[in-house]
Structure 1
């Protein structure tokens, strides 16, 4: 990972130099990945099963862990904003908060342990850079969206519409005026990988007709395109997006 070298003396100067060079070569949006995971770091350190129990049985120690993580995250965030915050368009955070069948925790637990930290991260970015905030969070995360909006999150991804409570029309109708949806562009489980090009075109068109009106949408496949996906389906997906008009 490039971040393995973040402690080297010239890392941040090199990052700025390379980012400026990239900015001069493209009119596309630039994104920097900063992580700043909260829930996920707990699972990395304690294992998923243990940390989920900790959230309910050992909240005091979980809160201490979050404070320690935030010390590290804020130092990194300060460096990122200082070095490229006036060049890059989007800062990407990451924290998978859900699974297919529902969220990993109750909303009360999320708000008690994580919400204030998420707000602090977003506020720092907005106050110290020109970047928009983006959260990659897999799974069913419908219940968290109002909190993420309140925290200052501008964009959410990957918008896994196959998961519980993640219906595309429901998300657009309830939150489309308040947050950008980046993803949700095609069903990657049944259509993109197993369907025909015609089925791909139909699915992509249906989703664009839901998400695109009024703006606030960036088309993207829900997740990574794997090696077994037929090339003709990938081409059909992109061709449909290029041809789409409201």
Structure 2
């Protein structure tokens, strides 16, 4: 099988020729710039660059030589953007490693070593403290209350760091005079990538609903809104859906026959349980999630991928009914997320993309042998009968030793024999 065939067979719940694996197909299955730089040093790789393509989380875009070494099977279409040296500039990360930020990203460095990000209107929208590892949101447009009118919603969404500091391809929308030109260019790039690789391709579209509520209202306010003000939650979701469906129309038309997987995001869980009751999910969010999946499935050949962290065991049947094909990151360290039970109960209905190694206690704190043994156990649980793409439980963070990363990939390599 080719990498693409291997991935898509597993998503179709057929056991492929060997275990498919992902590093960096999107900004939740990747590796921090600090950890990536350390990994390259450990491997003796002196060529190339550590390029931070997701500046919010400070996540690096893995290079071809690294992906080929570990045998990764999926690519983010973001790699077709910012391909020239002049698209980047050197920075020093808080661990002392040299990396590169995209040329459009110019935060203000303060005397204490922290960074501030301002939008074009001089609003402080994001900050990274000295020795920090990611940027924090500083501006919440509707923190005080919902607006009387949503005429200004696009502008306010553009002041949220996840939009203002978006990764490729979305950081290039501003480069084109019209929307159609942007999507025409996207199609050209994706076709070139597909014709140059046998790996599966993924595009990130977000289309968050619950998360956008927290970005606009702040977490504590929006959580209370789901119970105290559900009418405004629904009204906001309807406004968001107009924008999401418009984008999906453009994406499906441009690359729906070229890209294999479309990534959505909406974190629904904490370590100890869901952010809301099942009843609240069913009434406030599931109808909209169902529409998003239906649109993609009806207007493209792409499979849908949901990134949703935390303890989400109770809602998995609802997510399957809503039409999601793939679930990530499979945070088995959270409450009720036992991997064997997940595979037994839902392994035939949804693909688990992740869960391959615990990033909180094992990958960063364990010995290489402990990492190898843990990853091997997860492969034994998840891999049978397909429906599994090996990946960590979210991104590989800065404190992970490179020898542990390679021990994890050794488990993948041995499972492929």
Deviations, residues 113-155 of structure 1 (Å, cap 9, x unaligned): 1111101000010000000000001111111110110011000
1-structure distance, mates of 2:373, 2:308: 26
Q: Which has the higher contact order (CA 8 A, sep 6+)?
A: 2
TM-score for both structures, normalised by structure 1: 0.97
2-structure distance, mates of 1:154, 1:171: 15
Deviations, residues 144-198 of structure 1 (Å, cap 9, x unaligned): 1101100110000000000011110110011000000000001112211111111
Large movers: runs of 4+ above 2 Å: 4-8
Between the two proteins, the alignment pairs up a number of residues equal to 246
2-structure distance, mates of 1:5, 1:204: 37
Task: Give the match's secondary structure for 2:395.
Answer: coil
Partner of 2:217: 46
Partner of 1:193: 364
- Of residues 198, 201, 226, the one that matches 1:27 is 198
Partner of 2:187: 16
1-structure distance, mates of 2:298, 2:326: 17
2-structure distance, mates of 1:15, 1:146: 34
TM-score for both structures, normalised by structure 2: 0.58
- Superposed, which structure 2 residues align to 1:1-246 within 5 Å? 1=166, 2-6=169-173, 8=176, 9=178, 10-245=181-416
Task: Give the match's secondary structure for 1:49.
Answer: helix
2-structure distance, mates of 1:46, 1:123: 28
Shift of 1:227: 2.4
2-structure distance, mates of 1:225, 1:78: 33
- Show structure 1 runs of 5+ residues with no match: none
